Structure 1
Amino acid sequence: MKLCDLTQFYSPLSGGVKRYVHEKIAYIQSETEHQHVLVVPGPKTECVTSERSRIYFIHSPLISRTSHYRALVNLRAIEQILEREKPDLIESGDPYQVAWKAIASGEALRIPVVGFYHSHFPEAYVRSAAKLLGQTAGEAMMDFTHRYVRNLYNSFQATLVPSAHLGSLLTDWGVGNVRTVNLGVNTTVFSPSPDDTAATRAELELPASRRLLLYVGRLAKEKNTRLLFRSFATLTENAPEDFHLLVIGDGPERSALEDLRARCPNVTWMRYCTDSSDLARYYRAADLFVHPGTQETFGLVALESQACGTPVVGIRGSYMDRIILHDQESWADEETPESLARTIEAACSRNLPRLGARASRLAEERLSWPRVFERLFVIYQDVSLNYKR
């Protein structure tokens, strides 16, 4: 099989979707005889070849100087690549113009196309805008968005979702082809060993008594990072010497982080960490990973943290629940800074190493990438066999 992934959710500074497609490439090259083609935006048009994999970068305008995301607007270039490569199956990781081009090219070339619902954009982006329009206009905007999702994803041969809960929601909206797939984690890189916690904490100049909280991801509204920063400010008001926050990531809410750092000296910021082995060190060194988002659908960072033996805390009722491998006894009941701050304090009173060890063991047993991709390729084969050419 020759598989083609199309997405514009791709940044050189990493990100969940980028890690997903590159782990898939690694699996294909090491465990199968399949071929892989990846089409993504880039600073210039070029093709990078490695064994049975080709990555096509299409010159695209920059839309974020902090995260380096680009808008893939040259749809003709996508069409030409697909005509030349003639893959057996196309996976679109995009809910916008790239998705419609994938569907149109698939129909023209008689190639099945599946869509991966990576981003729950109606809640992450549209609902907050709809609130500004008043109840009637806001409800009309959300209704339009639901119809857009239904029309787009019913045009695929299958819609892949990383959560049964999210799949049920899409089914309620009228999407009739939902297939649930698990997320995975590279348990070779993200693991509790080696025991380098002391060295990493020394690098961060942390006293032994201070709890290290970690956040990894974009600094953006949809990630709820302002809530995290306000929560940490509340923590340090109550106990200024007890906690340290390490933030790895950049984005449009950088100014909010800078304000926090101006008020709280016990905050460390790293703009990005592109080396997975280095990132694993920071996961292992942390006492607790804080995930403030409520609309997250992918959540690879939460899996990576647990695989390294570091428990996760967040807000109850999100789509993250299905990938938390330890109990959520200490999770926040309310989406407020005060509730999240209380939650962090409560979690730190528990036996965090024991929670983390259990989560790491389950990640290894259930969610290593080879296990996940074995199941995903069964779906690919089923879609291909049932496609009417």
Structure 2
Amino acid sequence: MRLALFTDTYEPDVNGVARTLARWVEYLRRKGIPVLVFAPDPADDRERAAMASVERFASFPFFLYPECRLALPRPIYIRRALHAFGPTLIHVATPFNMGLCGVHYARKYQVPLVASYHTHFDRYLPFYNLHWMVKMLWRYMNWFHHDSRSIFVPSRSTLLDLKQRGWDEARLEVWTRGIDTKQYHPGVDRNTFLTQHDISPDKFIVLYTGRLSPEKNVDVALAAFAKFQRDICPDALFVLAGDGPSADLLKQQAERERIPTRFLGFTGMPNLQQWYAAADTFLFPSSTETFGNVVLEAMACGTPIVCADAGGVVDTVEHGWNGLICEAGNINAFSDALKQIHGNADLRGRLAARGIAYSLRQSWDTIFEELLIRFEKASDLDNCSWIRHISE
């Protein structure tokens, strides 16, 4: 197999899709499988040199997700590069400019095509007052994925969502996410770590990590924490690791309502692992996730989970077993869950232990071994029916 990957987000972008794809490419190369990646330029040109093995293109920020970038492809250059490479399978990971190039080449030159579906963009649109685009978006998504032999989704929940929209279940396959437990683990000297950050070790630390944006419902987390801190635990502190378009508004809300918070901004490893491991609970109210990598990261670090009952996180978290699940958007429910964890040390310990045990079973190599078999099957010209239609 010779794989050409088209994506509009790739390392050094900081998001779950970019990191997952980079791990997948690294795994394939370790196995001796040739891979050619087409991706946008990183925002910081200084980071480009370290990614010399990736074909890069000029780009600009995507308005729904500025941390990701939309490429300005050069079709003639791409065609020459692909002819020289000779792919036996094309993988399109995003439905934007780079993905379109991959679809076009696969259709024109009859190369087997697979896709991976990572983001519920339709659920983002209402948060940006773009409800009117939802039907148009789904028409486009149906067209974009029409010729993919397989469409890989991060969770069973996402698969069922797409099935309900009329997508062919026979082509939908779950590509779950793994965790590197050498990077994410419970090890931390909590007292020393918090003291170094001018935080009393007696504080009850509630942590959120991820993008600070409307579709992540971080305002719900802030309001739920405020109620919990006011009514139950005056010594609680809400720590938010991440950045995004809602950061300023959330900071203003916290200051205006005198909510004890610590905004860390973007936080890389190994510092992020230490925040996970030092926290008393992880609060994640997002209802738009297709998987929710940060939930698995928190579990691996022994942090009890409180999350929403929507999206892909429900495939990872079992209520009362390895986390607590709350009605999406219900501030009182999230506050009550924080109260349960704060007031019950035994519950906190059980959730933490079961979360760690679950994460230890989510090996990247095991996941990629199974995925490679599926990709090789898709690349077999004799195994599947041919492309459904050839574009003009």
> Does the TM-score normalized on the shorter chain lie above 0.5?
yes
Contact kept, 8 Å, 1:75 with 1:101, in 2: the verdict is no
Contact kept, 8 Å, 2:91 with 2:116, in 1: the verdict is yes
Contact kept, 8 Å, 1:75 with 1:98, in 2: the verdict is no
Contact kept, 8 Å, 1:187 with 1:364, in 2: the verdict is yes
Counterpart of 1:88 in structure 2 is 88
Change (3 A) 1:46 1:205: closer
Amino acid of the structure 2 residue aligned with 1:359: G
Residue pairs, 1:158-307, within 5 angstroms: 158-176=150-168, 177-192=171-186, 194-239=187-232, 241-263=234-256, 264=258, 266-275=260-269, 277-307=270-300
User: What displacement does 1:299 show?
Assistant: 0.9
TM superposition score normalised by structure 1: 0.86
Structure 2 CA distance, aligned partners of 1:85 and 1:328?
46
Comparing 323-332 and 259-268, the one that deviates more: 323-332
Structure 2 CA distance, aligned partners of 1:300 and 1:37?
25
Counterpart of 2:390 in structure 1 is none
Counterpart of 1:311 in structure 2 is 304
CA RMSD of aligned residues (A): 2.8
Change (3 A) 1:312 1:126: same
Counterpart secondary structure, 1:331:
strand
Structure 2 CA distance, aligned partners of 1:65 and 1:45?
25
Gaps of 5+ in 2: 388-392
Change (3 A) 1:218 1:146: same
The match for 1:357 among 353, 366, 374 is 353
Counterpart of 1:372 in structure 2 is 367
Structure 2 CA distance, aligned partners of 1:151 and 1:68?
26
User: What displacement does 1:314 show?
Assistant: 1.1
Counterpart of 1:22 in structure 2 is 22
Counterpart of 2:36 in structure 1 is 37
Asked if 1:72 corresponds to 2:67, the answer is no
What do residues 217-271 of structure 1 show as CA deviations (whole Å, max 9, x unaligned)? 1111111112222222223332463311111111110122211342436311122
Structure 1 CA distance, aligned partners of 2:290 and 2:328?
19
Structure 2 CA distance, aligned partners of 1:75 and 1:315?
42
Gaps of 5+ in 1: 132-137
Change (3 A) 1:104 1:62: same
Change (3 A) 1:280 1:185: same
Counterpart of 1:134 in structure 2 is none
Structure 2 CA distance, aligned partners of 1:81 and 1:57?
12
Contact kept, 8 Å, 2:180 with 2:364, in 1: the verdict is yes
Contact kept, 8 Å, 2:11 with 2:22, in 1: the verdict is no
Residue pairs, 1:144-159, within 5 angstroms: 144-159=136-151
TM superposition score normalised by structure 2: 0.86
Contact kept, 8 Å, 2:10 with 2:19, in 1: the verdict is no
Structure 1 CA distance, aligned partners of 2:350 and 2:321?
11
Contact kept, 8 Å, 2:305 with 2:324, in 1: the verdict is no
Amino acid of the structure 2 residue aligned with 1:172: Q
Counterpart secondary structure, 2:329:
coil
Counterpart of 1:56 in structure 2 is 55
